[in-house]
Amino acid sequence: MEDRQWRFRSTSSLLLALALLGLGAWSAERFDVDPPARTSITLLGTTDVHGNIYPIDYYTDRPANRGLAKIFTIVKQIRREQPNTLLIDNGDGIQGTPLVYYHHTRARTWPDPMMLVMSYMGYDAMTVGNHEFNFGLQVIDKARRQAGFPWLSANITRQSDGSNYFAPYAIREVGSVRVGVLGLTTPGVPVWENRENYAGLEFRDALEEARRWVPILRRKERCDVVVIAAHMGLDRDPKTGRRRPSEIPGENRAYEIAESVPGVDVILMGHTHRRVPEALVNGVLLVNAGRWAEHLARVDLVLERGTDGRWRIVAKHGRLIPVNDAVTADAEILDLARPYHQRTEAWLDTVIGQTARDLDGREARFKDTAILDLIHRVQLDVGKADVSLAAMFNPSVHIPAGPVTVRQIASLYIYENTLVVVELTGRQLKQALEHAARYFLPYRPGATPRELVNPDVPGFNFDTAEGVRYDIDLRRPVGDRIVHLTFRGKPVDPDQMFRVATNNYRVNGGGGYTMLKRAPIVYRSNRDIRTLIIEWVTQHRLIPDQPSQNWRLLPFATSPRAPHRMGWMMDEYRPSSKVGASSLAPQATNGSPNSMMILATSGRMSSLGGNSPLESSSLNRVPLKFNRSSSPWGHVFSLATLPQRRQWKNALKKSGMMPRSGNSSKISWAAYGG
């Protein structure tokens, strides 16, 4: 009692003294009354924004309900209603859209667009995601230097001394509530990225680091609220407990952290792109805003002050606010990002080639398609490989007949993977194809291929091959589905060696292709595959519009294989050095003057210099335009125009490239109607 009276008298004396000094107004605000016994704070979260600022789908060039410009409109409205607000991002921000790709590869001297916009929006913190490492540490260091908020990750440390490369946590005073935000990153970066992109760094187990740092936030930092901003998701369904497959151990540990680490109040999740409006695990509230700034996560916390003066949460609630047509894009954000947007659009609209037919990716995971064969062709050519492995990353890609732009190629290959060629045995190649075939569930009579897709295997992990012929028989058990596997007309020998073109994600272990991770690397490109495809189309102009039909899905593909065709495609389609003039060309073109023809030659090319008579030929006064490229089996010429077959046959004979009589020739071709 005496102590309370002493404190009262001391405070009164201090107030009186301050009033006499003319500081009474300040002192009354600071000391007159105790803080309220109840308060509320709001956490706002984005995740996996992937460079989406403008409300646009750059691949289709159409408006889309996404992007930070629309998110900021929602954020400003909430801040007007609730001043006690934190805005947090969960990573994978600086990679994704053509806008950020253009910046990192063609406008490096400009400020980072995502940091410019997010700083203007007043973000309080950002957790580092795995895709932040796609462009290497120099890009990361530049971006975080330009950020007006801390980059967090408690489990990324320097190998040299074990110190944290990023700040492990941030402390924010929201009203009178002390909030600690701990950042955790999925530890899969060494599995998915090139070593030089994370040189000198170690990615520790997120669960163990949470156990280490949460007590520090509670005891040392005396936080009233502990939030984990985790670039990782749930490894199981929070309602049923059913586990979801992960590519690597510990990839998604949010559930385990909530279940086993005391002192955590909220986990803002990311990485999986799965929307979670609200989930409660062991009293911990978990939310996930999904991807691309299509939703804003909102968590409302109600707190009461205890007798010890500390705030405690008495109620919590989470939800996702969608970005829809009713949300207008913030004009300030649009103005801020406009120079980046305009440059990106101009680059995307650059015409680099053409195609005679529509190319579409919707069926590329169910049958061989020309659009996926384009990726294979580029990988085979650049890597001088026998076999190519590639997946359809964006099944919604569509390239209409006519001019082909950078935008359309960018939509075909949406990741920053680089080309890698490894050496595999026939046995390992079959293992890779068997692993890919897990994409399908066992065959059920009456079910369509789409109905047999395995929900536990992402579509971007279903690789197809080019350079070999094979069938995937879904009637056979998993692990023994690849049948009729041949190379150049002969069954693949288990000990036969192949140069196999793939990407760095696969070689580093991405998608569980362990046979690729263990394989010797014989070639590695320092440029991403998207760039290689753009350069290939720019050089050749014409994109082949017919698939090689080298693989089938059984029992759905009931028709017999297409006849053996000579021409530009791979494997058995490669021309032999002793093959006669093919009868396929006249049959396929039917004499159409608008058909496209691909000529392939094999053997030594000493007679085909830059001034080859064939390249300077003209028919009916229409020049034959050729684009020549090297390949492991010779050179390829693509003709932009093709007059009547008799005329081009005569031109070949006159040029000396086709014998006037006899059956032996080092020229073969495949022609496709236009």
| 34-344 against 351-554: fold identical | no
Give pLDDT, residue 289: 98
Give pLDDT, residue 629: 40
Q: 617 pLDDT exceeds 60?
A: no
CATH domain 34-344 topology: Purple Acid Phosphatase; chain A, domain 2 (3.60.21)
Report domain extents, the chain.
1-33, 34-344, 351-554, 571-672
**CA 670, CA 591: separation in Å to the nearest integer?**
14
In this structure, which CATH number among 3.30.720, 3.40.50, 2.30.29, 3.30.70 belongs to the domain 571-672?
3.30.70
pLDDT digits (tens, 9 = 90+) for 372-406: 999 999 999 999 999 999 999 999 999 999 999 99
Query: pLDDT tier at 127 (50, 70, 90 boundaries)?
Result: very high
**CA 367, CA 472: separation in Å to the nearest integer?**
10
Residue 548 near residue 443 (C-beta atoms within 8 A): no
SS (H, E, C) 612-634: CCCCCCEECCEECCEEEEEECCE
Pairing between strand 463-466 and 387-391?
antiparallel
| Domain 351-554, classified CATH 3.90.780.10, yes or no | yes
Query: pLDDT tier at 593 (50, 70, 90 boundaries)?
Result: very low
**CA 591, CA 228: separation in Å to the nearest integer?**
68
What average pLDDT does the structure give for the chain? 82
Residue-wise burial string across 130-163, b where 16 or more C-beta atoms lie within 10 A, e elsewhere: bbbbbbbbebbebbbeebebbbbbbbbbeeeeee
Residue-wise burial string across 499-532, b where 16 or more C-beta atoms lie within 10 A, e elsewhere: bbbbbbbbbbbbbbbebbeebeeeeebeebbbbb
Lowest average pLDDT, out of 83-87, 248-252, 412-416, goes to 248-252
pLDDT digits (tens, 9 = 90+) for 448-498: 999 999 998 999 999 999 999 999 999 999 999 999 999 999 999 999 999
**CA 13, CA 11: separation in Å to the nearest integer?**
5
Helix (H) or strand (E) holding 183: strand 177-185
Q: 304 pLDDT exceeds 50?
A: yes
Q: What are the Cα distances from residue 290, in Å, to 90, 119, 206, 296, 318?
A: 10, 21, 20, 9, 14
Query: pLDDT tier at 34 (50, 70, 90 boundaries)?
Result: low
First to last CA, the chain: 98
Sign of CA dihedral 316, 322, 327, 332: positive
Q: 574 pLDDT exceeds 50?
A: no
pLDDT digits (tens, 9 = 90+) for 256-300: 999 999 999 999 999 999 999 999 999 999 999 999 999 999 999
Give pLDDT, residue 176: 92
Distance of CA 570 to the CA centre of its chain: 28
